[in-house]
Amino acid sequence: MFDLLNRRLVWVGGKGGVGKTTVSAALAVLAAERGKRCLIVSTDPAHSLGDVFARQLDDKPRRILPDLDAMEIDPDAEVDAHLRRVMQQMEGFAAPEMLGELRRQMQLTRQSPGTQEAALLERIARLINDPDSAYDLIIFDTAPIGHTLRLLSLPEAMAAWTDGLLSHNRKSAELGKVLQHLTPKAGRDIAGPFDDPGEDSLSRLDRRTRDIAQTLLDRRRLFHQARRKLEDPTVSGFLFVMTPERLPILETVRAVATLQEVGIPVVATLVNRVIPEDADGDFLRRRRAQEAVYLQRIDSELQQLPRPRLPWLETDVQGLDILQSLAGRLAALGF
């Protein structure tokens, strides 16, 4: 029924606490059982992927099954690595007396709004665009919806920011050449003759300008390539996980509409933790009556998408045995 696992990129998102990490892990197990070389990546700062697999995970892929690796991206570590790369590039361009101030600015940047998302996006973009990737499928267990929407909108923001820097850089280079011609040599009277900066000075300025411009263009290209893959329904698909409750329904309806407006292919919404029909007791009967209202609302407001349902399980999901059982349930639903 679904073609989700035949894509190369799968994004699983939803409101916090609805079970998206569990569903992501079960989908990864299902893909691996079908012989796909799969990597599952948690981008949520509040990682729980390792808990679901009952394994210690970090920001390097760890083998879970013969065809399944898992990793948890550490946003703080990504910020540190991102700023180190920026600093290394700037050290090649800046005068020695400016390095102390640059390092101070880098430390301030670490706490700036959006820095973590930008560093995280760059890591994701590199995973997506890696031409030497060993994986047939990458499943992203994303942070709650608001974080995910900001993450997916960053390519356009970063492209606009880069274009602005390139424009500013070109103007600065032109101004620098003019100022070099108009600046007297040290020790001469300001009204005295001006020194020609010479071809070597101008070529050094041009080379630095070209290096900065190339760095910015490479980053813009990286984000644009990632965005094109996100928008390609043959490559990428988004699955929302929700529960039959008021707030998850409201958030999911809004998020689906937003992603569809910006061209991100949404494949389905999975309704998780539906009370089983054979659950007994007055309390559960009352809960089931309320749940029926919400399920009807889901069918009405998300009728343009498939809406498979998973039952509420008797136990927590932890470890490969129960994940393999859950993968079987997903397969039966058409995944």
Tell me the three-class secondary structure of the chain, residue by residue: CCCHHHCCEEEEECCCCCCHHHHHHHHHHHHHHCCCCEEEEECCCCCCHHHHHCCCCCCCCEEEECCEEEEECCHHHHHHHHHHHHHHHHHCCCCHHHHHHHHHHHHHHHCCCCHHHHHHHHHHHHHHHCCCCCCCEEEEECCCHHHHHHHHHHHHHHHHHHHHHHHHHHHHHHHHHHHHHHCCCCCCCCCCCCCCCHHHHHHHHHHHHHHHHHHHHHHHHHHHHHHHHHHCCCCEEEEEEECCCHHHHHHHHHHHHHHHHCCCCEEEEEEEEECCCCCCCHHHHHHHHHHHHHHHHHHHHCCCCCCCEEECCCCCCCCHHHHHHHHHHHHHCCC
pLDDT of residue 191: 41
For the four alpha carbons of 92, 95, 99 and 104, in that order, the dihedral sign comes to: negative
pLDDT of residue 163: 67
Residue with the two structure tokens 């998850």: 248
CATH number of 4-79+114-181+196-332: 3.40.50.300
pLDDT of residue 154: 66
CB 57 within 8 A of CB 47: yes
Query: How far is the C-alpha of 256 from the C-alpha of 269, rounded, in Å?
Result: 9
CB 41 within 8 A of CB 127: yes
* Domain-wise residue ranges, the chain: 4-79+114-181+196-332
- The structure's pTM equals 0.82
One pLDDT digit (tens) per residue for the chain, 335 residues? 778 999 999 999 998 889 999 999 999 999 999 999 999 999 887 789 999 999 999 999 999 999 999 999 987 888 888 788 777 777 766 677 777 887 787 777 777 777 777 788 888 889 999 989 999 999 999 877 777 777 676 666 666 666 666 666 666 665 455 555 555 554 444 344 444 444 444 444 456 666 666 777 787 788 888 888 988 999 999 999 999 999 999 999 999 998 888 888 999 999 999 998 888 888 888 888 999 999 999 999 999 999 999 999 888 888 999 999 999 999 999 99
* Token pair recorded at residue 43: 């981008």
CB 20 within 8 A of CB 12: yes
pLDDT of residue 121: 82
CB 120 within 8 A of CB 154: no
Cα distances (Å, whole numbers) of residue 332 to 135, 198, 277, 310: 25, 74, 18, 10
pLDDT of residue 276: 87
pLDDT of residue 199: 47
Over pLDDT 70: what percentage of the chain? 79
pLDDT of residue 120: 82
Q: Per residue in 288-316, pLDDT tens? A: 899 999 999 999 999 999 999 999 988 88
